[in-house]
Structure 1
Amino acid sequence: MPKVLIVDDEESICWGVARVCEKLGHPTRSASSAEAGLREAASWRPDLIVLDVRLPGVDGITAIESFRALLGPVPIVIVTAFGDMATAVRAVQSDAFDYLLKPFGVQDIQAIIERALKRAPRSIEPPPSAGSDLIGASTVMQSLYKRVALAAASEASVLLQGESGSGKELVARAIHRHSARSKGRFVAVNVAALSPSLAESELFGHVDGAFTGATRTRPGLLAQADGGTLFLDEVADIPLPLQVKLLRALEEGAVVPVGGDEPTPTKFRVVAATHQNLSQCVAAGAFRHDLYYRICAFEVAIPPLRQRVEDIPALAAHFMSLAGRSSVRLSEATLDELRSREWPGNVRELRNAIEHACVLSRSGVIYPEHLPPAQRRLDGPMPATSELAAVAARRADELLDDPASEAVVYERLMAEIERPLFERALARYGNECAPAARALGLHRTTLKRKLDELESST
């Protein structure tokens, strides 16, 4: 049977992965450092390595080259609890087979082990090093970094889904910067801002005399993106007639300018973004299904700020630095206020709030009164909310009509609603109570108590 070497300085991780391997019938050995792992590898010749990033001495990703020199193309699975953009890119593009975030479940590591032992490892050219404006160490951001790294390692078209202000263009730029097209141009197009009458000319260009005012031939944005990346922001707003022409350009690798007959060759990678549900736009007939499948080969969901409130202090410090006020600090009351807000405008709204506060604060400390008024979410999913209310009303009637529920209707209804809510929140945050409680607006001890009560009632 294939042998698995586990290199991690956490005994619990080594023990857990070893149990999974034994269940699959694979013998295992463990090491607590890269140096010890290399000694084991030299004598034991494993068929798969599960390798932590942060190790005493040489870090895991640096050690990959030594493992490769010793063992050849053995699949290596990187695991880490400290993911960021740089780590994700290095892991995905350093010839590692896969990249797994701690804490992970038994099913996650089992599936990767089974895949790794069936397939050869990927070989990807490393990208040029570059900085990133993506900031955050939360679980959801670490998952985003991995998706960005995977997208950058391919030539597939990418669709970014995220609310306004969540950082879609930053993610698009990160994909371009870490891709094989990084030396080409990054051409950003805000489709919603294009004039309807000139949108075709802006995208595809025009020849001299094509229309009134066209006094010279001008290449369009698609031609300018040749060899690089075309970022189509708010892609759902492209008019249907232009969707047909865009699809043809993507399929043929050439554009025909307005008023012209000869196609202009252009090859670019498409990264599209929208805050709308593009599949619903397709169902409604507002977006072509063939174009949707052409630009959505790989999808990346960008989390809203309310799902990563633990990143707010780092983001706030970054924005204070950009405002030239890096010496300013936030009071604890201000941090509590920032964490409690809904942030319908997401990171963009947070930046505006910090810049506003920096103007008002003259003492070197930002207090809650320096912040602008909190904005409220006005665009919530009203149909779904109404549907939920209707279901709850029907269930309330059933309980009220049930003699066995007398005097406990409220408790029973709340228990039925709370259980799926808590389960979804915990699943979203890797069964970690603290971030789940923050997202729910509960104290951690309150959430634990409620979970215990629900467990005892089953």
Structure 2
Amino acid sequence: MAGILIVDDEPTICWGLAELAKQLGHQSQTASSAEQAFTLARTFAADVILLDVRLPGIDGLAAMAQFKQLLPAAKIVIMTAHGDLSTAVDAVRQGAFEYIVKPFDTRTIERVIERALTRAEVSTAPPTTGKAKDSNLMIGKTPAMQEVFKRIALVSASDACVFILGESGSGKELVARAIHQYSGRAASPFVAVNVAALSPTLAESELFGHVRGAFTGAEQHRSGLLVDADGGTLFLDEVADIPLPLQVKLLRALEHGEVMPVGSSKPVRTNFRLVSATHQDLLTKVRESGFRHDLYFRLCTFQINLPPLRERKADIPFLISHFYHLLSSGASQGNFTADAINTAQDRPWHGNVRELRNAVEHALIVARQGPILSEHWPPPMQPIAKGSTSDEPVEVRLRKLIREWATQRLRSDQEPQTLYDELLQQIEPPLLAAALEKSKGECLGASRWLGMHRTTLRKKMDQYGLQGDE
């Protein structure tokens, strides 16, 4: 039996959490303020503290230090209905065991309590004092974005390589900048490089530098972007496009902290933190020998999956408001109508946050300082294929589609326990149908094409409602 201290100014939440603690076989005490909780903590041996951020008097984050003095072994779980990146970072830096956003379901808080009571203590790096100047650019109230905020907060204090996976326009560079600005390297350079934009012939020189006379046109020494990022953070966007020969040099730079400029025989020391990103399936490129597996595993020490805008539509009104204030430049502008907001939430936004920003700017221009209506939005952007269907083998496209499907299912709030069976239900019917068509409906011929016993094929045909002849 453990002790759980519940600190929240909403009586219904205190009651619900106390009932949950009772059902789990634990004792609990409730407090409506941090000050009241301090008094209880002197006599109640709490193992877990469920602490709301917004409280009358001392707020939850400010109260954490005193709780750690009163109950040094207790795990503090921060609860908030107003989560943002700054709150997540502050909570993690002050040693919060977990950070959850209201409203949460019973199962979520139950799992958190179970982990808090069983997990061994993990030491954390001392907090830094840097504040992110651009943290307000990371907009998101949805659970998907709150998870991103939490992962940024967790990884910022370390020097581990971070890999950001997200569609074009979803804000991967903003995530990289937030990691840098909340890290101990915030006072040092942040160097952003779009690998896809580098000239193939000059990419090595751009990244690793060159000495004077190394090649035609090299009239002076160039340090290179990896050296320019010394002490700070190097962000490699579209890292999947880095040429294979340069992948070897990048791996060496990461492992040994030195680069070899073009035309030089003397390595140059550099110490940078690498954050990389791509919208491509990097693991597929590894399997197809288009990307080194050793570099892949080095880049993916810590991964952040950035959700597309269509999977966090509840954030769209907040993003519109942010871009409205950013782009209106203080001029008198009409407000977005409810119909315009609803129209925006119904769109797929294939270009993600970047497309939304451009759309807001377009609407402000067309509305001419009047009310912004749904017809002021530009036409929706059409989906952009992730790869050319003409030159990609069908097997490659199939693997990508399966990966996208599985990723989307695993991001859902549900917890699928039968993902493999669900996949079979998706791919078996068209596979069997194609084999039956090839054999003109004859089960024996289709079973031979499939390498499957005829009896097994008949059972699956019945399962999926497919027709064929014996």
> Partner residue of 1:343?
349
Match of 2:283 among 272, 279, 285: 279
> Partner residue of 2:128?
126
Instruction: Give the CA deviation at 1:11.
Output: 4.2
> Partner residue of 2:39?
39
- Between the two proteins, what is the percent identity of the paired residues? 52
Q: Which amino acid is the alignment partner of residue 138 of structure 1?
A: T
* Residue correspondence of structure 1 range 358-437 to structure 2 within 5 A: 358-379=364-385, 383=398, 384=401, 391=428
* Residue correspondence of structure 1 range 349-360 to structure 2 within 5 A: 349-360=355-366
1: CA distance between counterparts of 2:312 and 2:107? Answer: 25
TM value normalised by structure 2: 0.78
Gaps of 5+ in 2: 388-396, 406-422, 437-462, 465-470
> Partner residue of 1:329?
335
* Residue correspondence of structure 1 range 195-214 to structure 2 within 5 A: 195-214=199-218
> Partner residue of 1:77?
77
Instruction: Give the CA deviation at 1:105.
Output: 4.6
Pick closer, same or farther for the CA change 1:11–1:282 going to 2, 3 Å.
Answer: farther
* Conservation of the 8 A alpha-carbon contact between 1:309 and 1:339: yes
> Partner residue of 1:266?
270
- Please state whether the residue corresponding to 1:272 is helix, strand or coil: strand
* Conservation of the 8 A alpha-carbon contact between 2:328 and 2:364: no
2: CA distance between counterparts of 1:130 and 1:370? Answer: 34
* Conservation of the 8 A alpha-carbon contact between 1:229 and 1:268: yes
* Conservation of the 8 A alpha-carbon contact between 2:280 and 2:386: no
> Partner residue of 1:62?
62
Gaps of 5+ in 1: 399-411, 414-458
1: CA distance between counterparts of 2:90 and 2:65? Answer: 12
> Partner residue of 1:93?
93
Instruction: Give the CA deviation at 1:222.
Output: 0.5
- Please state whether the residue corresponding to 2:206 is helix, strand or coil: helix
2: CA distance between counterparts of 1:37 and 1:225? Answer: 46
- Please state whether the residue corresponding to 1:44 is helix, strand or coil: coil
Pick closer, same or farther for the CA change 1:269–1:72 going to 2, 3 Å.
Answer: same
2: CA distance between counterparts of 1:222 and 1:279? Answer: 24
| Higher alpha-carbon deviation: 18-27 or 259-268 | 18-27
- Please state whether the residue corresponding to 1:365 is helix, strand or coil: coil
Q: Which amino acid is the alignment partner of residue 49 of structure 2?
A: I
Give a deviation string over 1:332-381, Cα, whole Å, max 9, x none: 22212211111110111111111112222224222223221112224389
* Conservation of the 8 A alpha-carbon contact between 2:47 and 2:73: no
* Conservation of the 8 A alpha-carbon contact between 1:160 and 1:168: yes
* Conservation of the 8 A alpha-carbon contact between 1:97 and 1:121: no
TM value normalised by structure 1: 0.80
> Partner residue of 2:295?
291
- Please state whether the residue corresponding to 1:43 is helix, strand or coil: coil
Pick closer, same or farther for the CA change 1:389–1:44 going to 2, 3 Å.
Answer: closer
| Higher alpha-carbon deviation: 13-22 or 222-231 | 13-22
Instruction: Give the CA deviation at 1:8.
Output: 2.2
> Partner residue of 1:140?
144
2: CA distance between counterparts of 1:304 and 1:29? Answer: 41
2: CA distance between counterparts of 1:214 and 1:232? Answer: 24
* Conservation of the 8 A alpha-carbon contact between 1:186 and 1:231: yes
Instruction: Give the CA deviation at 1:97.
Output: 2.1
Q: Which amino acid is the alignment partner of residue 120 of structure 2?
A: R
Equivalenced residue count is 401
* Conservation of the 8 A alpha-carbon contact between 1:160 and 1:274: yes
